[in-house]
Amino acid sequence: MTRTRPPERAPALDRPSTTLPAPPGTVVTVDAVTRRFGDVVALDDVSLDVGSGELVGLLGPNGAGKSTLLSLINGQRRPDSGTVRLLGGDPRDAASRLGLGVTPQETGLPATLRVAEVVDFVAGHFPAPVPSGDLLEQFGLADLARRQTGALSGGQKRRLAVALSLVGRPRVLLLDEPTTGLDVGARQALWEAVRGYHAEGGTVLLTSHYLEEVQALAQRVVVIDRGVVRADAALDVILRRVALRQVVLTSATDLSAWPGVVRTAAGAPVPAGSDGGARQTLFTADADALVRDLVRADVDFRDLEIRGASLEEAFAEMVEPSAPVEGADR
């Protein structure tokens, strides 16, 4: 099982998780949770703590278990085994959810209610809501306050859905693919809103298919795949840990199996170019050593470039079937 903790705490790999009290400052605790849907194991013995003020990106391919995890944290579903705590309580108690803001993947807005009416309706459930005018202004929806939500564009609906998650001044925000379908400008505006919320001390757990979104926002990245936490680390640690560099060069020699080359970009044999050379992208943990080695071996190459790996490449490495599970390694 993978037991992971917020960054400020020491790893706790070897302690039985069921006996661990939630560390101080923890706002979300997921402890040894398994959740099945029939034969599908959506989450398999997952443990994860989120500390107050963290901004955590949850990454994983389709069907990895991300939404299921959020649905357990927001009290929509119960785990089959294990426990989930939200702000020190059971997420299925309404009192625990008073400090929670949620933007689900799909939002069913009441089509005949006006934008401001929906905001007021949701605000009515919280003791000290953000004034609706301020919220609509912040999300660029002020001009649409009187429009029925059924007449909003997809992007406007998405903005409203995220705005609604903030109306109750939550301590914890769960965002399930918050910017799907948004254009670049709207996405940037939403990122600003999330950053602003976080800068004021809010805790965010967000899933995203946009790796650049996680890279832009998250301080900590949890990679989940087939119901298992594959890695959990600070963003820069994830990037450094995978630490694959791309050595891009043109050579007539197929270097895909050269010592130190983890894989090539396409993972396919190198086609020969008309001049006998082919452009090759070689992934390696140590670009300097690889290049030195090629020079020593008198391999003929030209147009050398060395690039860092993106989060996307790091992610692909981590969810490969043979990838080791890396927990609590921050």
Residue ranges in contact with ligand ATP by CB under 6 A: 37, 40, 42, 60, 62-68
CB 178 within 8 A of CB 217: no
> How far is the C-alpha of 221 from the C-alpha of 232, rounded, in Å?
6
- How do strand 81-86 and strand 278-284 relate by DSSP bridges? unpaired
Give min distance, CB of 315 to ligand ATP, in A.
13
3-state SS, residue 330: coil
Query: What single string gives the DSSP state of each residue in 153-196?
Result: -HHHHHHHHHHHHHTT--SEEEEESTTTT--HHHHHHHHHHHHH
Q: Is the dihedral of CA 274, 275, 277, 278 positive or negative?
A: negative
CB nearer ligand ATP, residue 65 or residue 168: 65
Give min distance, CB of 78 to ligand ATP, in A.
13
Give min distance, CB of 104 to ligand ATP, in A.
11
Give min distance, CB of 275 to ligand ATP, in A.
44
Neighbours of 132 (CB within 10 A): 22
Residue 173's DSSP bridge partners are 101, 204
Give min distance, CB of 285 to ligand ATP, in A.
29
CB nearer ligand ATP, residue 47 or residue 149: 47
- Which H helix or E strand runs over 308? strand 301-308
CB nearer ligand ATP, residue 232 or residue 283: 232
Give min distance, CB of 189 to ligand ATP, in A.
23
CB nearer ligand ATP, residue 187 or residue 245: 187
CB 324 within 8 A of CB 242: no
Give min distance, CB of 264 to ligand ATP, in A.
28
CB 205 within 8 A of CB 27: no
CB nearer ligand ATP, residue 63 or residue 269: 63
CB 48 within 8 A of CB 56: no
> How far is the C-alpha of 300 from the C-alpha of 309, rounded, in Å?
25
Neighbours of 112 (CB within 10 A): 10
CB nearer ligand ATP, residue 108 or residue 267: 108
CB nearer ligand ATP, residue 44 or residue 293: 44
